[in-house]
Structure 1
Amino acid sequence: MAGTDPTERRQFAFTTRPHMAVDDTTGDPIGLDDLDSRVRWLLDLITGAETELLTRLWQPATFDTLAAGREGDGRALPKHGHVAAARLGWTPTYPDDVCVPSRVSRVVTAQATATLRTLTYRDTAIASLSARFDPATGHIAPPTGGEVYVPSGFARGVRRQLVARTRRGDEATSDAPTSDVAQPERLRITDIQTPPKVTAMARLAAADKQLAELTVTDRTMELTVKLPTAASPTRRAHWQRVRLTAVLPPHLHGRPITGWHLPTLTLDGRGLLLRCAATEAVPAPDLPAATVAVGVDWSPATLGAAAITTDTGDGLISDLRGYTYDDRGLGIKLARLQTEGQFLHRKAARLRQLAENAPPQVRSELEAKIAVLDENRAAVGAKRGKINRELAFHFARQVADYAVAADATMIAVEDLATLEPRGRGRVNNNRAAQSARHKAADALAHTAARVGVVVVTVPAKGSSAWCPGCNEELARPKGYHDAWCGSCRLGGNRDYVAGVNLAKRGLLGRGKAVRTRGGGVKVRTTEHAPVRKCRDKTGPTPGRPRHRRVRHSVPAPTPAEGVNTLKSRPAPEASVWDTVEPAASEDVSGSREERESGPPGT
């Protein structure tokens, strides 16, 4: 996998906020509230035009063209979305008397084309599944060969849509004879779904310097972008260039970044947010020469567990010991927040049902309650996202350090596309499905690449159910978390055995690894070789930081006369966020407390 260059290029994303905005022409400062208003006007124009374009193109002919990848004259479609849209004649429309630069139309067509290209695979899969769907039984027949591969979870979701459509019943289907109803009907995505909702954002990467320009210095980033000065700009003078200044996050200081890319503009509760991307030079791993691999198993008890397998040349060995990630109690907090969010969602749905037939006065009261519930549910979701991100990067840092201490050059993780949480009950399955595994996998690939360790995706089937020595089914003599093979005399913790199997699959398939379209490394085949248990300890003992509870000392109150001073008073409860290390004092995201305009940029 390694080339002649000892380094390779890898893209990553980060976010920041502007703390100062000035007019690029006059140098006059612009308040952050005024900046948010101008960005909101830009996003409203882009969102409206993109919604209209998607609605107009929501037809089977659009997906047939994108699936073929060629125009009407046989030429291949360009990979850039706005160029492909121009070739196909997809032009966005705006309200009358509204002047919009052509570069903004590029952003609209690029975002719409990217959405349609993503849904093209779904359209092909729905057409394949609907042709094998039996309305009478509600089941999908197995594929006969040569059809599009569809994951089982995706197929179950499409089956639910087809069953719901059958129950609603079409007028033509209800009037047809029974023999005609039983015939499978080949449906398209436009038959069972409506056009997707558009997210309010502006991907400036599709534009050029006429719309946006980026300049990055040592620790500061300046973005010059053309924004409207009115909600409905009617001439070119209503579009002015604004220079935004933001601070780079501390973890980017001193890193070998080779390229900075134009950000995506979004708005959240705090104002303007810049979703940026950059290209970094990382050590190029030599995958075929890997001899030590770390297998990471996504555990139901915690986020993940790791174990080591070594290829000595005479065979594979492992001590069947591993490392279990300590989530510091955040998993319990995430489960509580998930339960709270689901409760708020159910309560709001029930109030909506009651408001449909309620009197006008009662309906207004119910709508006010629904608005409060939706606001609280959004706040719970934002808190869950923040904790998930912290949990993912902390897990990635711990596993990467564990791999470096073991001199491993490969980390094998389960393929999340083939991993489905099933058989643990509806509550636990839903909780496992909404965990931060995808974020943790992306964070692990990014963190490990910086230290020269490559993350390889391997099949997940049977990793914790088969013996690493003889590839036979394991027994559970002491419960779910225990695994034992009577013939090989191998066993131990279920998660550690799964980590050994995953590392074994990565080592055996390292010569057949392929690069995915997303830039990852994947092993699609499962091979077997016996793993011998070694008596020596091959894995490192990772240092586990002690998150000591910190209590702020306060002067003891002076007891009143006649009060018993020997009576004990309970100390205030500590939080899981209290750590030994003090919080960083440098502000990297831009303060929104003082929203006055700063000094001119000149």
Structure 2
Amino acid sequence: MADQVIAAHWSDADLVVLAGGVGADGRRLPSSGWMALRRLGWGAVAPAGVVVSDRVRRIAEEEAARALRLGSHRRAVVAALLATWPADPFARTGDEWSALRATLPEGCDTATIRNRTRQITAYLGVHGRLPAGLFELERQPTVARQVSLAAADRQQVVVDWTDGRMVRVWSQLPVCAAPGSYRDWLWHAFDVVLPPTVPTGVKVCTPTLRPRDGRVRVDLPWQTSHTPVPARGHARGLGVDWGVNTLLTATVADLDQDGCVVVDGRPLRFDATGVSAKLVRLRRLREHLRTKADHLTRLRDGRPAHAHADPALTGKLARLEAEHAAVCARIRHLNHALAWSAARWLVDHAAGAGTTVIYVENLATLEAHGRSRSLNRRLSGAVRGAVFTAVAHLAAKAGIAVVTVPARGTSSGCPCCGGVVTHVKTPDRSVAGYRWATCSCGLSLDRDHAAAQRIAARGLANQTKARRDRSGQATIRTATDTPVRRRARRATPTTTTRPARDRRKTAPTRKQTRPTGETSRLLPLRRQVPAPTEPPPGSAGKRPAGRTPQEINPTGPVRQVPHTVSTTTPRHPHRERGAALGRGFHRHVHATPTTQRDSGTGGMPRLPRST
């Protein structure tokens, strides 16, 4: 039913009417999709011989309205690109960018412009001309196999709590593929067990049903009360920098009364190099399996039509497809675990430090091109989007704001003086590299740590420029860099109370007495150990230097040790202490432990320690 509505109104004139937001009677169209289509007279019609209720038609009209509204937005983007098409679309000048931005719809990002430009360029290369609009570039969209019960009311679906961890969903569904009367529609009840992450007593919303692989999957959203944190008026913030080797590097910064940004100089790192290497190996395996499967598919399709199918070829292709699906699932699960672990670590540090805002650089338009194959693969497979979504979710629950700042120049500029930094491998070597940043002002700091300080300074100094987009995300689009200064270190009691040891040689060294009963850890002197009078039985004197003698024909289960392996020290498997201490979800994740810190100059209250 939804596909029929889309096919009937997939035209330029109808999308213009829908994008205008005004019906034929001059009234503004409702925000609900199914109500807007009914106001325009584009209601869904049931197939011949099928009886459905008005609520079922609402569900189909809601799906069609979402697809048509998305198509109207894409139509406006394509029309703006075609109206301002330059001579070189991948190297626009400043005036060409200004003209394009003036015609684009609101909220269009750079990634959408790049993707639509590539689409138009591909059409131009095939047909030798520019398309007339969106309808020559794309066919009409199809609706996914899902049932959005949110468009119906309680006469179609009812959601009730049964106990603290289970929700019962009542829905009126057909018992056959083509119901001929209302007697073929019956009420079905199914219980949904909630995971432990869902709090007890929250508001459970209407679910969405998705049939797949002979089963019905239930997307059950839930809501909890939340007060949006303002994006302005913060005195202490946490600046976060994304990295390739180190996933997250953060630092705490304060805004003093004079408007200066002060940092404490302590870096906070979430190093997931081991997990990233594992993901790279899995992606290589996935690409290898996909290449083999494509090759076998070409061999299968290239056989003559009258030839019989090769069972060995078909079975091998099925095994490759199953292995490819398993590797893809493993990558998804590992990315999900990595993203939420990093987000939980970051929010715990923000709460422990008493910060009220987290500043993250906006890398939504980061492209992986122009680099090596390995770096392009690592950038393309990064989990930054999932980490940002998890951080926004967990920070909202903790009452912490999340604001994005411009990413340009965060790693190439000095946080202290604003000059251009030099990237070297190590602080004591001037060889060009990635890890370390030095500046003529005397800065010598880790590259990601310096970028995190610059991000925190941009966010705290430009709070008045923060704006929220249509999705509610706070963003600072243009920022002015402010120099940061290091907070003076407080003297520790160890350095102030312990007296200095007198190292002058003015008298004989006093003889030290060893407690009775304590054995020395040093080896005894040679003269203190008498030499054996007779050699031990079975020994033939000192063995000459060389490898350990090996028995040619051992009588029992004797382990033959090669000469390259030490016969005195046992071998133990590699174990990471960070995972044993509970600092990460994976044994190859090294993260700064969360500790309670004082409020400092920001005047923030002390929060309970996060574990």
Q: TM-score range by the shorter chain?
A: 0.7 to 0.9
**2:231/2:474 contact within 8 Å kept:** no
410, 435, 453: which one aligns with 1:463: 410
Q: Using the alignment, how far apart are the partners of 2:379 and 2:490 within structure 1?
A: 32
Deviates more, 1:213-222 or 1:397-406: 213-222
TM-score normalised by L of structure 2: 0.73
| 1:295 paired to 2:289 | no
| 1:206 paired to 2:159 | no
Which residue of the partner structure matches residue 505 of structure 1?
458
Which residue of the partner structure matches residue 170 of structure 2?
224
Deviation of 1:390 (Å): 1.3
Aligned-pair identity in percent equals 30
Q: Using the alignment, how far apart are the partners of 2:225 and 2:89 within structure 1?
A: 55
* Structure 1 residues 390 and 124, CA gap change in structure 2 (3 angstroms): same
218, 225, 231: which one aligns with 1:274: 218
| 1:564 paired to 2:558 | yes
Deviations 1:95-119 (A, max 9, x none): 4322222222212221222233233
Which residue of the partner structure matches residue 75 of structure 2?
123
Which residue of the partner structure matches residue 440 of structure 2?
486
Q: Using the alignment, how far apart are the partners of 1:529 and 1:272 within structure 2?
A: 54
Which residue of the partner structure matches residue 434 of structure 1?
381
Deviation of 1:521 (Å): 1.8
Deviations 1:530-564 (A, max 9, x none): 111234389xxxxxxxxxxxxxxxxxxxxx98223
Which residue of the partner structure matches residue 12 of structure 1?
none
User: What RMSD, in angstroms, separates the aligned Cα atoms of the two structures?
Assistant: 3.3
* Structure 1 residues 434 and 292, CA gap change in structure 2 (3 angstroms): same
**1:103/1:211 contact within 8 Å kept:** yes
Which residue of the partner structure matches residue 147 of structure 1?
103
Q: How does 1:387-536 map to 2 (within 5 A)?
A: 387-478=334-425, 479-487=433-441, 489-536=442-489
Q: Using the alignment, how far apart are the partners of 2:112 and 2:560 within structure 1?
A: 65
Deviation of 1:270 (Å): 8.4
Q: Using the alignment, how far apart are the partners of 1:164 and 1:281 within structure 2?
A: 47
| 1:339 paired to 2:284 | yes
Q: How does 1:153-172 map to 2 (within 5 A)?
A: 153-169=111-127
Deviations 1:337-394 (A, max 9, x none): 2222233333444444444543133767666655554443333322222222211111
Deviations 1:9-57 (A, max 9, x none): xxxxxxxxxxxxxxxxxxxxxxxxxxxxxxxxxxxxxxxx333333333
SS in 1 for 2:404: strand
Deviations 1:241-289 (A, max 9, x none): 11111222112234x73x2211111245583322221221246535433
Q: Using the alignment, how far apart are the partners of 2:308 and 2:277 within structure 1?
A: 38
Larger Rg: 1 or 2?
2
Deviation of 1:193 (Å): 1.4
Which residue of the partner structure matches residue 252 of structure 2?
308
**2:424/2:435 contact within 8 Å kept:** no
SS in 2 for 1:67: helix
Q: Using the alignment, how far apart are the partners of 2:360 and 2:265 within structure 1?
A: 17
**2:239/2:452 contact within 8 Å kept:** yes
SS in 1 for 2:67: helix
Which residue of the partner structure matches residue 34 of structure 1?
none
Q: How does 1:533-552 map to 2 (within 5 A)?
A: 533-536=486-489
**1:320/1:497 contact within 8 Å kept:** no
Q: Using the alignment, how far apart are the partners of 1:187 and 1:199 within structure 2?
A: 28
SS in 1 for 2:97: coil
Which residue of the partner structure matches residue 29 of structure 2?
77
Q: Using the alignment, how far apart are the partners of 2:577 and 2:170 within structure 1?
A: 41
Amino acid at match of 1:156: R
Structure 2: unaligned runs, 5 residues or longer: 426-432, 492-553, 562-566, 583-611
SS in 2 for 1:289: coil
* Structure 1 residues 136 and 331, CA gap change in structure 2 (3 angstroms): closer
Q: How does 1:316-355 map to 2 (within 5 A)?
A: 316-327=261-272, 329-355=274-300
Which residue of the partner structure matches residue 537 of structure 2?
none
* Structure 1 residues 501 and 571, CA gap change in structure 2 (3 angstroms): closer
Which residue of the partner structure matches residue 245 of structure 1?
191
Deviation of 1:483 (Å): 1.6
* Structure 1 residues 134 and 524, CA gap change in structure 2 (3 angstroms): closer
Q: Using the alignment, how far apart are the partners of 1:378 and 1:138 within structure 2?
A: 36
**2:131/2:137 contact within 8 Å kept:** no
| 1:99 paired to 2:51 | yes
| 1:264 paired to 2:208 | yes
Q: Using the alignment, how far apart are the partners of 2:125 and 2:486 within structure 1?
A: 56
Structure 1: unaligned runs, 5 residues or longer: 1-48, 174-184, 539-559, 582-602
**1:318/1:533 contact within 8 Å kept:** yes
Amino acid at match of 2:264: D
* Structure 1 residues 575 and 187, CA gap change in structure 2 (3 angstroms): farther
Q: Using the alignment, how far apart are the partners of 2:76 and 2:359 within structure 1?
A: 31
* Structure 1 residues 421 and 526, CA gap change in structure 2 (3 angstroms): farther
Which residue of the partner structure matches residue 27 of structure 1?
none
